[in-house]
């Protein structure tokens, strides 16, 4: 594969997972840091999502989908997608916190449920809409 060729589905999925892990560490770390200093959970999740998502976009653009063209149109697609998944992510997190019983790791479980939901939507939409060939 030359540097201008996009990786196939397997390559994209592998890179997407690796980028996702890095981005998840950013999101998870910021979320728990903000909760530890008393930030209201939906605000903490919103801020952590934005920072994790920005990390994911920049790394996916460079390494996963090898975007070299598209500029503003591609970025507009990214903003529309992540605006939707932002609401989905914060909403699932808030709902999970409301429904889960008091237990150890409750906030972490809510984060995982929200992140898993958003990640599934993101891969499909990034591949088919934002970074399509």
CA-to-CA distance for 87 and 84, rounded, in angstroms? 5
Residue 63 included in any domain = yes
Q: Is residue 38 part of a domain?
A: yes
Alpha-carbon gap, residue 33 to 44, rounded angstroms: 9
- Greatest alpha-carbon span in the chain: 52
Residue 67 falls inside a structural domain: yes
Looking at the structure of the chain, the number of domains it has is: 1
Taking only the tens place, the pLDDT of each residue in 3-24 is: 445 567 788 888 888 998 999 9
On whether residue 123 sits in a domain, the answer given is yes
Nearest CA to 126 out of 76, 60, 55, 63 is that of: 60
Looking at the domain assignment, is residue 50 inside a domain? yes
* pLDDT tens digits, one per residue of 79-116: 788 888 889 999 999 999 999 999 999 999 999 999 89
Domain holding 77, by residue range, is: 9-130
């Amino acid at each position: 594969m030359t540097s201008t060729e996009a990786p196939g589905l397997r390559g994209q999925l592998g890179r997407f997972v690796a980028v996702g892990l890095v981005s998840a560490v950013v999101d998870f770390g910021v979320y728990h840091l903000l909760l530890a200093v008393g930030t209201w959970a939906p605000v903490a999740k919103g801020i952590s999502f934005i920072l994790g998502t920005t990390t994911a976009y920049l790394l996916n653009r460079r390494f996963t989908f090898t975007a070299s063209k598209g500029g503003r149109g591609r970025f507009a697609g990214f903003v529309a997608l992540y605006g939707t998944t932002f609401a989905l992510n914060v909403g699932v997190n808030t709902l999970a916190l409301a429904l889960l019983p008091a237990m150890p790791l409750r906030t972490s479980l809510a984060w995982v449920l929200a992140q898993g939901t958003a990640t599934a939507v993101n891969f499909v939409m990034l591949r088919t809409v934002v970074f399509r060939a």
